[in-house]
Structure 1
């Protein structure tokens, strides 16, 4: 059964805002007795306003233009009402007003979406992640102004070509610091965040079709640096005179033998150290990145490093290790590696790869255990870190060959393999 509605449009002068003989014109939309008022951003002479026809009685060209504009407004408001009714949507005076001024879902813009996302993700996303979204927003604003010649764009106007154009802009244009263009993976990260925004818009039902439906992100695969068994030994035994380099060396080694990330090492506190079921000391913490709990038994080397900095911990509210800024740490690591003739582009994250590859997997620790130690939710994530070294392959095949030889001898010379 269809519900009958009352709908009316009324133009009026807001005399409370009258200046001299001029007053602003408003439109009043009424649906089922409920009103919504819209400022039309126009004003006219009170003297010539006809209260009966709701128009100006002025015969000047300006008067005729104003009356034509009011006819257009009335027609547009009527169209908005019909659209809402035919779409079986909630029809109120406010929904008609929202459709008219472009504030309903039908008229949401890209920057509306970005703003809504960033406001609603406060406290849900990590501060660093949100900061990356703000950077992507800056690139989008630049792109819209420089390439699309507009300050914003309706979501419904986004398509596959918009994505391609934005990608090319990132590839050819300077970075926000006006330096060289972004590298491929930096570009893909911005597009990945834009894709997540589009998925968010789909969830909100602000978009009917995702412009990323046929677009594929293409990340370049780079060699992840880590220390080999012998390089780790050289690093561990290195004698370093520079105090800052020595601190970075110790903190990096601690990460090599715990698998913790830079942020997790920096946040490590005395409250994270417990005695485990085996009577040894363990790290009980929660990863900053994904809130995943991790429990890591402490190797003697890692424990010795913690004891070395016990006085630092006492003076710094239980913080276990002195950790410099990530940028400073990475600079020092490169200098240490150079002094040890380790020809690798080490960063702090290399310690996590070293733990996964050299310390654990190459020594026979199952990948499932390594995944738990690293705080991963999926084995596939661990496989990014987990390199099967040639030596490990060699050792495994050597054991298999030995099994074959034993089997051959036991078969009294009859080979069954």
Structure 2
């Protein structure tokens, strides 16, 4: 804010009287054009700025709302994910290097549990518990939101846990490399699998894959939201929107196959 005021208005301190609709719009242009920030980053900046202005108005430091003429809506990000057949090919892919095999296994584990990188890195053996149904579950609080995330372990993640048992320190389940190393190795691995060569495969893609995969298999939104550790089910509904969009695109791809039938169709009243 201070740099903006200095560059655009030639003063170092911004007074409440300086906050006008024109100031807000100029600040948006500065973030967008001079700093070349993306849309959602600007949205985050403006959320904090708006909160400050509302507080100032409630305490009578501001007589009016400088954001009265400003509108900016957060855009949904393109949440990539792996299709089931793509995940199957990754599961069956044989890595030549042990480091690549570890990263691949960690990614697959996330695809079947929905755990983020930070939650995987902090996962402890004490988080793996026998639950009331006699099954093994992950019982953990998400590092990002501090909300609980309870996921029943299927056979594949159980096999991955057993594969790396005792190889980590401090009671951790896995010896997890840095996020940069994981993403670098995933990029190399994906380039060796035909169906993944055109996809940008990062570790966070696994969490989105978990959500879309199990939602498409009939897991209710409420259950999926609980497993993902979302505070609000509206966050989980984004994945339902993604699936609906894909259904629409798939239907458009086959619509031309019915053109001949349409030409011979007669509407009878």
TM-score if structure 1 supplies the norm length? 0.55
The CA distance in 1 between the partners of 2:58 and 2:176, in whole Å, is: 41
- CA deviations 1:333-377 (Å, max 9, x no partner) are 22222211212112222111111111x111111111111111112
Q: Is the 8 A contact 1:275 1:281 kept in 2?
A: yes
The CA distance in 1 between the partners of 2:112 and 2:25, in whole Å, is: 44
Partner of 1:377: 231
Q: Is the 8 A contact 1:362 1:392 kept in 2?
A: no
Cα deviation for residue 208 of structure 1 reads 4.4
5+ long unaligned stretches in structure 2: 251-269
Partner of 1:226: 81
Cα deviation for residue 311 of structure 1 reads 1.9
Partner of 2:15: 154
Distance 1:141-1:319 versus aligned 2 partners, 3 A rule: farther
TM-score if structure 2 supplies the norm length? 0.82
Q: Is the 8 A contact 2:167 2:174 kept in 1?
A: yes
Partner SS, residue 149 of structure 2: strand
- 1:2-401 matched pairs, under 5 angstroms: 140-174=1-35, 181-202=36-57, 206-313=61-168, 316-341=169-194, 342=196, 343-358=198-213, 360-386=214-240, 387-388=242-243
The CA distance in 1 between the partners of 2:56 and 2:180, in whole Å, is: 35
Q: Is the 8 A contact 2:2 2:14 kept in 1?
A: no
**RCO greater where, 1 or 2, for CA within 8 Å and sep 6 or more?**
2
- CA deviations 1:303-336 (Å, max 9, x no partner) are 11112221223xx101112223323322222222
Structure with greater proportional helix content: 2
- CA deviations 1:202-239 (Å, max 9, x no partner) are 56665443323442223344421100000000111110
Distance 1:251-1:197 versus aligned 2 partners, 3 A rule: farther
Q: Which of the two has higher C-alpha Rg?
A: 1
The CA distance in 2 between the partners of 1:295 and 1:189, in whole Å, is: 30
Structure with greater proportional strand content: 1
Count of residues paired in the alignment: 246
5+ long unaligned stretches in structure 1: 1-139, 175-180, 395-417
